[in-house]
Structure 1
Amino acid sequence: MKVNYAGTVSISTLDWTGKSVVTIFFRGCPLRCPYCQNHPYLEGPELVELDFVKEQIKKSKPFVSAVVFSGGEPLMQEAVVPLAEFAKDLGLAVGVHTNGCYPERAAELVGRKLVDKFFIDVKAPLDDPELYGKVAGWEAYKRVGSAVKKPPEEITTAITKTIEVADASGLELELRTTAFRGFIGNEKEISQIAAWISEHIENREVTYVLQQGIPEHSLQEELREIRVLEREELLELGKIAKGFLGNIRIRTKEEGEEVV
């Protein structure tokens, strides 16, 4: 089995709060978010053997307690299942960073007890498919063959199902939104997202994280000159979300991760 592979961070303390992990990046994603930071991973094959990626995990095993699959979109690839199985056999916890577009694969990992935590992007209010489509790059990239193929309504439906799978599993769950000045993450939108989470999530321990978007790394050139949201602005958005949910955090370049 081949893996469309983007790279490995052998030891990371940023991808799972409180854990030292090895992070495996997969290539490919069905979305084209204009502010995407990992856009070099979106296109093109870089196929390697499954055993090559297993070896990357094995080399880090003495120094980490978990593996995180990220991307790109890891749940696009069938290989994530045997890799998760390999990691569990090594005694490692497994975390998955996902955009939520592949609920069936998320359910497979849950059903086979191959995942310990989901980190799911909630890019915009899930009850506003039009806005979600904008943030996911629907309008700009819908005619690009390898980009977004599903209409926004199907995207939000799939993400909702993935969140339901993760919520029902009883596993750790982190939902996160990247806030980007003038594009997504104003007070109204954060209120909508936090209210939706509060109404739809049974797990009251769910963590909701507001992430500081970094304009200069954006996929879309027009966004690269936008002024970054300051820590204090993100903190105020976090306080708005706190009106709906108990466990709120912000992530900024200035201070890293903070509890609101």
Structure 2
Amino acid sequence: MKFGGIQRTSTIDFPKKLSCVVFTLGCDLDCFYCHNRELIENGEEISQKDIKLFLEKRKGLLEGVVVSGGEATLQKDLLGFFKYLKKLGYATKLDSNGQNIEIIKKLVESKVVDYFAIDLKATEDKYINVCGKNANYKKTSETINYLLENNCDFEVRTTLYPGITKNDLVSIAKNFGTLPLWRFNYFHMPETFKKEDLKRLRGKALIKYDMIKIKKDLIEFQKNIEI
């Protein structure tokens, strides 16, 4: 496991649990609005020993651990790390872009992840434009449908990046059965970004006022929405 950061306490990243978030290095996507670019470009590695020492000290104080990124499913010993967390007694959550369904399946079958958050970035026709040449909407869609079919505890998250529209969101909503939760993240200008993306980043992004008006159109297809 290659770690690039840790948020020592969080009340919002794991539903109903006081948790910490550990961030892994590296990602297979290149989203133009990425808020964790330092984790995929020249990120400094934190030793696994230091991460484990922290987790062992906080055992009994924290309820859960969120493994995020970057993209954690790229880590070779992800399954082993989740087994380690369960041995410590932690509830576990994985944040993922859903591109690596075989890894997700292994985690589900091993029953080491209690909750998943899958980032669904855009409509199928815009996925590569938003997330880079390696992005594959069908892979993420397959992961979401797998979690639905296996009655897993999970949520889908979509960041309201500059340029995403009401029609995009309605199109996404139509493509799935009833999701247990669809959560929207409001866009904030990232500290680090590519110069060629500056114009896009300065574009109009949907805000809460917009989402309140749009919600009635989305609920027709997805009733479990958090704006």
Q: Aligned residue for 1:190?
A: 169
Note if contact 2:72-2:95 (Cα within 8 Å) is conserved in structure 1: yes
* Pairing partner for 2:67 from 62, 69, 72: 69
Match of 1:212 among 157, 176, 186: 186
Query: For 2:169 and 2:179, how far apart are their aligned partners in 1?
Result: 19
Higher alpha-carbon deviation: 233-242 or 48-57 = 48-57
1:84, distance to aligned residue in structure 2 (A): 0.7
The 8 Å contact of residues 98 and 121 in structure 1, kept in 2 or not, is answered as yes
Q: Go from structure 1 to structure 2 and tell me whether the alpha carbon gap of 1:165 and 1:205 turns closer, same or farther (over 3 Å shift).
A: closer
1:51-92 Cα deviation digits (max 9, x unpaired):
332223223323221110011101110222111111111111
Q: 1:206 to 1:218 in 2, by over 3 A?
A: farther
* Residues in 2 aligned to 1:212 and 1:105: alpha-carbon distance in whole angstroms: 28
Conserved? CA contact 2:148–2:179, under 8 Å = no
Q: In the alignment, what sits opposite 1:137?
A: 132
Q: CA deviation at 1:49?
A: 4.6
In the alignment, residue 137 of structure 1 is paired with which amino acid?
G
Aligned equivalents of 1:230, 1:218: Cα separation in 2: 22
Tell me which of 138, 141, 145 is aligned to 1:164. Answer: 145
- Aligned partner of 1:243 in structure 2 is 220
Question: Are 2:161 and 2:205, in contact at CA under 8 Å, matched by a contact in 1?
Answer: yes
Q: Where do 1:72-151 residues align within 5 Å?
A: 72-125=70-123, 128=124, 130-138=125-133, 148=134
- Displacement, 1:217? 4.0
Q: Root-mean-square deviation (CA), in Å?
A: 2.0
Q: What residue in structure 2 maps to residue 56 of structure 1?
A: 54
1:87–1:94 contact (8 Å) kept in structure 2: yes
Separation (CA, whole Å) in 2 of partners of 1:233 and 1:49? 43
Point out where structure 1 has 5 or more consecutive residues left out of the alignment. 139-147, 199-203, 251-260
Task: Please report the TM-score for the alignment, with normalisation by the length of structure 2.
Answer: 0.90
Task: Indicate the percent of aligned positions where both proteins have the same amino acid.
Answer: 27
Residue 8 of structure 1 contacts residue 56 of structure 1 at CA under 8 Å; is this kept in 2?
Answer: no
Q: Give the superposition deviation at 1:228.
A: 4.5
- Number of corresponding residues: 224
TM-score relative to the length of structure 1: 0.79
Cα distance, 1:45 vs structure 2: 5.9
Distance 1:8 1:216, change over 3 A: closer
Q: What letter corresponds to residue 214 of structure 1 in structure 2?
A: H
List per-residue Cα deviations over 1:15-74 (Å, max 9, x = no partner): 123211111001110111001111111123644554332223223323221110011101
Q: Specify which of 163, 173, 176 is matched with residue 154 of structure 2.
A: 173
The farther-off stretch of 69-78 and 160-169 is 160-169
| Cα separation, 1, equivalents of 2:200 and 2:20 | 31
Contact 1:10 1:23 in 2 (8 A): yes
Task: Report SS of the residue matched to 2:15.
Answer: coil
Structure 2 unmatched runs, 5+? none
- Three-state SS of the structure 1 residue aligned to 2:159 is strand
> In 1, distance between residues paired with 2:103 and 2:220?
33
Evaluate the alpha carbon distance shift between residue 10 and residue 59 of structure 1 in structure 2; reply closer, same or farther with a 3 A threshold. Answer: farther
